[in-house]
Structure 1
């Protein structure tokens, strides 16, 4: 096997990549939803095109965010208190990837067949997506701000066996 040279945050690079990539995905999903709602209310079909492309890029980028998250979670040395939140965050992350890919495929079909309008059912499902993404943001925030994953003092405490 090989050894990675890890810094004081237990990473082989200066800062965690997962939050950088995932914030991009979150912004694109929220902006896509915003554009669909504005397009639905105003009848501006250009907003539907903006929405589709944001969702399309988000559906590709979410897999990059998950790969980075899985890698960094493996390096985080999670202690017992953090494991349930980290596991739930992981399960929801993978589920969201499938959900985003599915809703993007549905959005593509809508774009081809009914490019001038969005069905209310789609907006309802997109609302569920926004709620799930918001919950996932909450879990990710807890992992950093409550449990301190990849935060230097917490990494040091875990290495010294203080956290268990």
Structure 2
């Protein structure tokens, strides 16, 4: 069977890729929201275009983040205390992928019909999306900072069968 050596973080490559891509997605979603809100109140149409393209790129990048998240979660040293948070984070990740895709499609229709306006209902949905992203940030932070997934001392402890 083919086997790739894993490093001290239990990964086949130098650093986790999931957090890198995820931070990109977070920035794109937040920046899209900020541009749309400021554009709504200032009537600056150029900000709507920036908001649309940021959400469009986020809709693509979120699936890259999900794929690497699934792969890296599969390589993580999982112990019982981690499982509920990891399961919820995974469920939220896939849900956010679908929600971002739907909101991006809606934003595309809005842009196609009238590129000079964004309806308040869309801003409400985008606000809800930002809240969900904040929850996902909390869960991901907890997996890293509290449970130590892909953190060298935790990986070493798990390899030595010492429970963290």
> How far apart, CA to CA, are the structure 2 residues paired with 1:78 and 1:96?
23
Aligned pairs, how many?
A: 164
Deviation at 1:5, TM superposition (A): 0.7
Q: Does 1:116 align with 2:111?
A: no
Instruction: Give the TM-score of the pair, scaled to structure 2.
Output: 0.98
SS of match in other structure, 1:9: coil
Deviation at 1:162, TM superposition (A): 1.2
Residue of structure 1 in register with 2:137 after alignment: 137
Residue of structure 1 in register with 2:89 after alignment: 89
Deviation at 1:158, TM superposition (A): 1.0
Runs (4 or more) in structure 1 with deviation over 2 Å come to: none
Residue of structure 2 in register with 1:10 after alignment: 10
List per-residue Cα deviations over 1:96-153 (Å, max 9, x = no partner).
0000000000000000002111100000000000000000000000000000000000
Residue of structure 2 in register with 1:71 after alignment: 71
SS of match in other structure, 1:148: coil
> How far apart, CA to CA, are the structure 1 residues paired with 2:27 and 2:75?
26
Q: Within 5 Å, which residues of 2 pair with 1:38-77?
A: 38-77=38-77
> How far apart, CA to CA, are the structure 1 residues paired with 2:163 and 2:17?
24
Instruction: Give the TM-score of the pair, scaled to structure 1.
Output: 0.98
> How far apart, CA to CA, are the structure 1 residues paired with 2:132 and 2:81?
23
Structure 2 unmatched ranges of 5 or more: none
Residue of structure 2 in register with 1:107 after alignment: 107
Q: Compute the RMSD of aligned alpha carbons.
A: 0.8
Tell whether the 8 Å contact from 2:59 to 2:104 is kept in structure 1 after alignment: yes
> How far apart, CA to CA, are the structure 2 residues paired with 1:57 and 1:112?
17
Structure 1 unmatched ranges of 5 or more: none
Deviation at 1:40, TM superposition (A): 0.1
